Amino acid sequence: MARTVARVIVDALKDLGVQHVFGVVGDALNPLTDAIRTTDDLNWVGCRHEEAAAFAAGAQSQLSGTLGVCMGTVGPGSVHLLNGLYDAAKSRTPVLAICGQVPLAEVGSDYFQEVDNDLLFRDVAVYRATVSSPDQMPRMLESAVRTAVSQGGVAVLTVPGDLGDQELSDDRPARFALTRPLTRPDDPALAEAAELLNAADRVTLLVGRGARAARAEVLRTAEVLAAPMVLTLKAKEGFEGDNDFQVGQTGLIGNPAASHALDSGDALLMLGTDFPYRDWYPKGCKVVQIDTREEHLGRRVPVDVGLTGDVGATLRALLPLLKAVPDRGHLDDARERFAHWQEGQRRLADPRHERRWTGKLRAALDNRDHEIRPEALAAAVDAYAAEDAVFTSDTGMATVWLSRFVTMRGSRRLIGSYNLGSMANAMPQALGAQLWAPDRQTVAFCGDGGLSMLLGDLMTVRTYQLPVKLVVFDNRRLGMVKLEQEQAGLPEFGTELDNPDFAAVATALGLTGIRVTDPADLHDSVRRALDTPGPVLLDVLTNPEEVAVPGKPTVAQGWGFAIAKVKEILPSREG
């Protein structure tokens, strides 16, 4: 019996193991959504905004390592997918977007809602094509999926509204050969890298997401070289817990110990990272970089030896060539500095801190109203969240507090818009995460600006009764922008948010809403939010004047901040 284009696509998705398709229904998608309706074990998740659908699909892909799928109907429905798809593309995770199009005979006539999808998605997609004949299937679908998976990117398949229910003359099923080879450099390149590392006295590792599958080999390398391990944010998951070598993150969200470990080394070994911030790389040291993508080698910092290959396979071949370093001074110094910094952070997160004289002095400068410290909120969530919780975080200060106060111990997972840096990602990514692992706790660190941008998809949480825990850092500000303005010597402008009572909004939508304004209520409220069955929104009013000091603050930043504060104070006095 002949099958339709829609049926071929939906059957193939089921055979691939896809369980959820995220999107907003629309006329051009009707044949596809109807095929999903009549297919067991493949579920349609109707979102309120296609951007949320794309974020959710990307989250499932990142967590599962397999294909995520979203759909948008003709014109605006497909346009709305763009931001979430850019996030998937920048995260290098495979996502298939199926987009509707006007009837085939009307393509190119400036028809109602017509958008050139192949042009629209040109920058974001590793594969994009429009189906113009039923007999192009399933070959075109196979190419789309293979390209997305092999290149770790977005594939966009556009289906005109009048083709979805047309039958194929060839009824063969779609076939996918999805394998990823493991490669390593040749022996002379490995020998060159080993010679450089063996000649160094103080080696520091910079470890990224691309090394997560090689945890054992990375730890063994750190042990042999007595090397402190600086982690990128995306490497927190996989390397932070039970690791006697790690010293946290570098960059604006980092800490002084990690910055010192980088600056004091005479050799840097980069493992699976394309850390983009050039100002935070050490100067004047030798660099060895291992990455599966040759175009990443030397892109951020000049490298002396670049090795193209899988991190695990490369380290397994490199380790026998490395000489054990007996002097652990470089490692011990970095770890001691890290422990000292962590102890200071724990004091800041203690709700009793402001009762002490040092806390009272600080509060007089930046928290006169004694509002809840965001550090304390993040630390409380860390204390009470499950050991296998899945965390998402909005870009900005919510990510800063998560990076510093939430530990990826146990089997915890972490995703965010850490390459694109989009707002509004945490809540929709939590939708995808919760559906991916319905029995695991999912906790979203939401900025108030990010949450309000896609607030409508709280109704998706309600509709599917997803037991996500949405923790809102409600400082009534676009906090990271405020900090950036002040560090540049500019007074705060345009960052203040006239927020509603988010807990009341959540309650009106059928979620459990909890609002916290008193620091004394913080721990009990966090515990209650995490223990309450079903979806919960915890709205915590946090101190809007909180400053996250970077790991290596500059005089210019401090001077700019002082100037900004003067500019902010003078107008208020004049008024």
- The pLDDT, as a whole number, for residue 567 is 57
Q: What is the pLDDT of residue 494?
A: 94
User: Per residue in 343-395, pLDDT tens?
Assistant: 989 888 887 766 665 555 565 556 666 789 999 999 999 999 999 999 999 99
Mean pLDDT for all residues in the chain: 92
pLDDT score recorded for residue 300 = 96
Which residues, 6+ apart, have CB-to-CB distance to 573 below 8 Å? none
Measured distance CA(432)–CA(430) in Å, rounded: 5
Alpha carbon of 1 to those of 71, 132, 176, 343: distances in Å?
27, 22, 22, 69
DSSP state letters, 268-306: EEEES-----GGGS-SS-EEEEEES-GGGTTSSS--SEE
CA atoms within 13 A on the CB side of 291: 24
C-alpha span between 7 and 421 (Å, rounded)? 36
Q: Provide mean pLDDT across the span 266-289.
A: 96
pLDDT in tens, 111-154: 999 999 999 999 999 999 999 999 999 999 999 999 999 999 99
Element (H, E) at 474: strand 469-474
Q: Closest Cα to residue 95, out of 122, 65, 123?
A: 65
CA angle 259, 265, 267 (to 5 degrees): 120
Q: What pLDDT score was predicted for residue 557? A: 54
Q: What are the backbone angles phi and psi of residue 209, rounded to the nearest 5°?
A: -60, -30
Q: What percent of the chain has pLDDT over 90?
A: 84
- Would you state the pLDDT for residue 288? 98
487 pLDDT above the threshold of 90:
no
Structural domains in the chain, sorted by start:
5-160 (3.40.50.970), 187-338 (3.40.50.1220), 352-574 (3.40.50.970)
Give pLDDT, residue 244.
Answer: 97
What confidence tens digit (pLDDT) does each residue in 3-39 have? Answer: 999 999 999 999 999 999 999 999 999 999 999 999 9
* Confidence (pLDDT) at 367: 60
Query: Which residues lie below 8 Å from residue 499, measured CB to CB, with a gap of 6+?
Result: 448, 452, 474, 476
The pLDDT value given to residue 489: 86
Task: Tell me the C-alpha distance between 267 and 201, whole Å.
Answer: 8
- Percentage of the chain beyond pLDDT 70 is 92
pLDDT of residue 561: 43
Token representation of residue 431:
């939708």
Residues 308-330 have a mean pLDDT of: 97
Model pLDDT, residue 482? 87
Could you read off the pLDDT of 146-178 as tens digits, one per residue? 999 999 999 999 999 999 999 998 888 888 877
Euclidean distance between CA atoms 22 and 400, whole angstroms: 29
Decide if 541 contacts 497 (C-beta within 8 A). Answer: no
User: 575 pLDDT band (50/70/90 cuts)?
Assistant: very low
Scan for tokens 């993040």, then name that residue: 378
- The answer, yes or no, to whether residue 559 has pLDDT greater than 80, is no
- Beta-carbon contacts of 502 under 8 Å, excluding residues fewer than 6 positions away, are 448, 451, 472, 474, 513, 515, 537, 539
